[in-house]
Amino acid sequence: MLKSIWFIVNIALLKGCFAETPETYLLKSHSLPPDLNFMPTLGNGHLGYTVFGDAIFMNGVYNGAGGNSKRARIPNWLNISSEVCDRFGCASGEDVEVNGTSYEMDLRDGYFRERTTYRKLGFTVEQRTYTHKFYNRALVYEVVVTRLDSRNTRANAPKFLKLTQYPGNSSDAFDFVLVSNGSSSSGDYRTLRGRTKVLEFEKFQTDPQEIFVLFSQSLEQPLQVQWPTWQEQLSYSIIITMDRDESVARKELQDVLKLSSRTLLQKHTESWNSFWDNEFSIELKGDALELSQIVNAGIFYLVSSLPSINTNQKNEPFYGLSPTGLGRGNLEADYQGHNFWDTEIWMLPVVTQFGLEYAKQVLDYRHRKLEAAKYHANATGYKGARFPWESAYTGTEVTNPCCPEVAQQEIHISPDISFALQRFYSQSLDKEWACNTAWPIAAEVAKFLVSRASCDDSQNMCHFLKVMGPDEDHPDVNDNVYTNAVSKIALDFAEWLGPMCGNTSTELFERWRELSDRLLILQDEVLNYHPQHQGYILNTTVKQADTILLGYPLRFDISSTHLNDLRFYANATRESGPAMTWSMFSANYLVSRQDKLANEYFERGYKSYVRPEFKVWSETPLGYEGSANFLTGIGGFLQTLIFGYGGLDFGRVGDQFSMIIRRTLTPPNVDEIHINSIPYEDAKCSFTIRFQSSEIVCWDRFGPGFQMVQDQRRTFLGRSFNFTHRNEDPPIEISFLR
Ligand SMILES: *[C@@H]1O[C@H](CO)[C@@H](O)[C@H](O)[C@H]1NC(C)=O
Ligand SMILES: *[C@@H]1O[C@H](CO)[C@@H](O)[C@H](O)[C@H]1NC(C)=O
Ligand SMILES: *[C@@H]1O[C@H](CO)[C@@H](O)[C@H](O)[C@H]1NC(C)=O
Ligand SMILES: *[C@@H]1O[C@H](CO)[C@@H](O)[C@H](O)[C@H]1NC(C)=O
Ligand SMILES: *[C@@H]1O[C@H](CO)[C@@H](O)[C@H](O)[C@H]1NC(C)=O
Ligand SMILES: *[C@@H]1O[C@H](CO)[C@@H](O)[C@H](O)[C@H]1NC(C)=O
Ligand SMILES: *[C@@H]1O[C@H](CO)[C@@H](O)[C@H](O)[C@H]1NC(C)=O
Ligand SMILES: *[C@@H]1O[C@H](CO)[C@@H](O)[C@H](O)[C@H]1NC(C)=O
Ligand SMILES: *[C@@H]1O[C@H](CO)[C@@H](O)[C@H](O)[C@H]1NC(C)=O
């Protein structure tokens, strides 16, 4: 059985190498989005930019004090445009027929291109840009011009290419100085050194951040490249490399320039193809071309903000995922490139499926910023570690001065992080990581919660007073149910993890247990639902999914009370709510088998949020101003597909961790969803989800093998298995034999 599985994987690989990009991975448009913020955002975890935008951003590089800290804008020197000219002038838009230009985002090969045909003048121009996935300090611009008829080299055939750079205004974040002018005689490259102007918080940042930018070719003045009439095709590349370390940026440029442009592109596309073929993909069968494109684009835009795992030079530490990704962060609408709960609650559950290493690098940011979170707890009068609502370079609070109450009151971010640690452990089962990375965070968060709670001994009850839940329309409330529920999970996890990691502070554990037991979970006995907070009146409008999260993702309450929450809050949620709100209604309706509603909300969760041209997400539905490249919405949408429709779950009951397969469903017009591949500890699984059943294939080459528990019967499955689960069967639990 094992052999046949590997065989299939290999066939897929071979096909990938030689195939044209399938339609499901090719986003093609003859027109640009009316708002250029909805152009594709490309990135590789080190650098990112939005096509045609005015900025390039580098992982972890911010400028500005406290709440004014935002990603430090580097002018978009990659925004280059080529014209074909002769001594009388250059070909212009007027020489292009209607629809003669096509803009394409190739998701499978990982680049953006613009192709223009000048039929009358007899040539085509193709321009490509991308952030290299393997040489990840490098940004690439490439132009290829081709004569349409090689025999007809007319006298008026074009003579040269003119490359012009449009980087936008100079940067207000950096002081740039010219280190070298890149005279070709000395074999040197044009080099700029940039230093950020303002520190974020002196206690945790002593010096400005410094970056080096190297250019293969200066484009300060437009560059002319000769195109002899006898030459059928001409190609020209501009490479820009950037790093905090000048020698790293220099080596990257040298390494890249050793390659032909064809090999350079091939290295990049191979790296992307390998992601889709070996790391993760979702394939939909049925009448689902557009939905497939949205799914693939969603995965692509998320991965673009994550570090490449396999790179030419060692990566720097990763500074986390921001709601609009690495390629944005200059605007208020870009959340200034900060980290929020969006990272752990909305994006991470999907990122984990791409590979455990991606999730580790995301969570590692929180681990590295634990000292800052402890400082923040102390500075605001509490113990333990309090993660700021928004964080950037230093890990201290950087919430925009506009909105101090979210920073003061959205304390749920800290237990959200613990919840994510537990969820990741349930899937990775990595004890070393759990004790080195998760435990220090979980313990400090538990201490914070104890110090933040207000307990009433006479009633044997504890509360969180003056908080704000995910529903930001309601500040200053007591006992937000979501906050209290996720805090219970965080306390229980810390209490479980401590002894597992050999810690013997039983007094601490008892305190955590006691708080968890005594925290109030509001419930209305008459209407049998959870009021969102003390004094919540039924039908009061809320901003977004809040109390309903008790079902999925918290799995804290899936009783009839939760079903009523779904009923009541569905009507009370704002029309203009963010995308993932509707995705969460869908995921929860799937759990409760209300399939019709689940399908309705699933469609509502993406249809009016995704802009048509390049399937870029907006935070708000069409007609409302909202953030572009909204990865948080993508996270909610893909979670619904994988954990809602796919019926998949990883969980803990007591000391027992398992992968759980529940009933499955396919969205409207989709016959089959194939998910390849889900990591489970060191094993891999793939799922084929059909309307009434699912097929699960797992293989664990070197591990102890799997067992299955169904109806309390245990079955040994061996090191690989291929199992069909029908919807009428009870859920199955799969775990490792130990
Ligand atoms: C980027 O270049 C395009 C032309 O290719 C231009 O339309 C756009 O305005 C430029 N962006 C900036 C920020 O200058
Ligand atoms: C250009 O493309 C648009 C959209 O694809 C199409 O509706 C239109 O008919 C095309 N125009 C021409 C002249 O081909
Ligand atoms: C660029 O700078 C000019 C002059 O300072 C200003 O008017 C313009 O708004 C700036 N453009 C952008 C996109 O910031
Ligand atoms: C750098 O070289 C360019 C020509 O390549 C020249 O125009 C410019 O003045 C030089 N700048 C300095 C500071 O030497
Ligand atoms: C904050 O830290 C200082 C110095 O360690 C300590 O004296 C103070 O008690 C701490 N505050 C709280 C609320 O724990
Ligand atoms: C257990 O963990 C607590 C909380 O972080 C820490 O203060 C204590 O030193 C640890 N004790 C032992 C014995 O490891
Ligand atoms: C809430 O709205 C429903 C109709 O949507 C109505 O039947 C009910 O009485 C309202 N409840 C309250 C407390 O206003
Ligand atoms: C929600 O609104 C719909 C349509 O207005 C109504 O039919 C339904 O009864 C309402 N549900 C609740 C629980 O109020
Ligand atoms: C699993 O089994 C099904 C039917 O028994 C078969 O169609 C499918 O090809 C198998 N999958 C793999 C990966 O072996």
User: Mapping DSSP to helix (H, G, I), strand (E, B) and coil, where does residue 240 land?
Assistant: strand
Where along the chain do the CATH 1.50.10.10 domains lie?
339-521
Structure confidence by residue, pLDDT tens digits, 161-218: 999 999 999 999 999 999 998 876 666 899 999 999 999 999 999 999 999 999 999 9
> Structure tokens of 313?
């030079």
**Cβ count near 449 (within 10 Å):** 31
Cβ-contact 410, 543 below 8 angstroms: no
Q: How confident is the model at residue 13 (pLDDT cuts 50, 70, 90)?
A: very low
- pLDDT by residue (tens digit) across 430-452? 999 999 999 999 999 999 999 99
Give the distance, in angstroms, between the CA of residue 58 and the centroid of all CA atoms in the same chain. 16
Contact 361, 434 (CB under 8 A): no
What is residue 135's predicted lDDT score, i.e. its pLDDT? 98
Q: Place 150 in a pLDDT band, splitting at 50, 70 and 90.
A: low
Model confidence, pTM: 0.95
Write out pLDDT tens, residues 559-613: 999 999 999 999 999 988 888 999 999 999 999 999 999 999 999 999 999 999 9
Mean pLDDT (whole number) for 362-370: 98
Structure tokens at 245: 């370390």
Give CA separation, 521 vs 530, 543, 721, in Å: 8, 21, 42
Provide the CA 632 distance to its chain's centre, in angstroms.
7
What would the mean pLDDT of 625-653 be, rounded to a whole number?
Answer: 94
How far apart, in Å, do the first and last CA atoms of the chain sit?
22
pLDDT band at 622 (very low <50, low <70, confident <90, very high): confident
Q: What pLDDT, on the 0 to 100 scale, is given for residue 185?
A: 61
Does residue 652 have a pLDDT over 90?
A: no
Residue 467 tokens read as: 């908080």
Helix (H) or strand (E) holding 353: helix 348-354
Of 28-37, 540-549, 638-647, 649-658, the least confident: 649-658
In the 3-class helix/strand/coil scheme, how is 13-29 assigned residue by residue? HHHHHHCCCCHHHEEEE
Beta bridge partners of 508: none
Pocket test for ligand 9, best of 697, 717, 725 (most atoms within 8 A of CB): 697
* Every domain range in the chain assigned CATH 2.70.98.40: 5-271
- State how far the Cα of 566 lies from the Cα of 601, in Å rounded to an integer: 12
Per residue, the 3-state secondary structure of 671-725, as one string, reads EEEEEEEEEECCEEEEEEEECCEEEEEEECCCCCCEEEEECCEEEEEECEEEEEE
Question: At 40, which amino acid appears?
Answer: P
* Interval 620-638 mean pLDDT: 91
Tokens (6 digits) for 320: 């986390």
98 lines ligand 2 (CB under 6 A): yes
State the architecture of 339-521 in CATH terms: Alpha/alpha barrel (1.50)
Place 332 in a pLDDT band, splitting at 50, 70 and 90: confident
How far away, in angstroms, is 100 Cα from ligand 2 center?
A: 10
Q: Which residue has the higher pLDDT, 701 or 640?
A: 640
- CATH superfamily of the domain spanning 5-271: Glycoside hydrolase, family 65, N-terminal domain (2.70.98.40)
Q: Could you tell me where the DSSP H helices lie in 123-184?
A: none
Please report, for residues 283, 335, 405, the alpha-carbon distance to residue 328 in angstroms, rounded to integers and kept in the order given. Answer: 29, 9, 25
**Share in percent of the chain as helix, strand, coil (round to 5):** 35, 25, 40
Residue 57 in 3-state DSSP?
Answer: strand
Ligand 7 close to Cβ of residue 526 (< 6 A)? no
The alpha carbon dihedral of 571, 566, 659, 436 has a sign of positive
Residue nearest to atom 3 of ligand 7 (CA): 539
Q: Which atom of ligand 4 is nearest to the CA of 178?
A: 13
Q: Which residue owns the Cα nearest ligand 5 atom 9?
A: 378
The pLDDT of residue 504 is 97
Is residue 548 predicted with pLDDT exceeding 90? Answer: yes
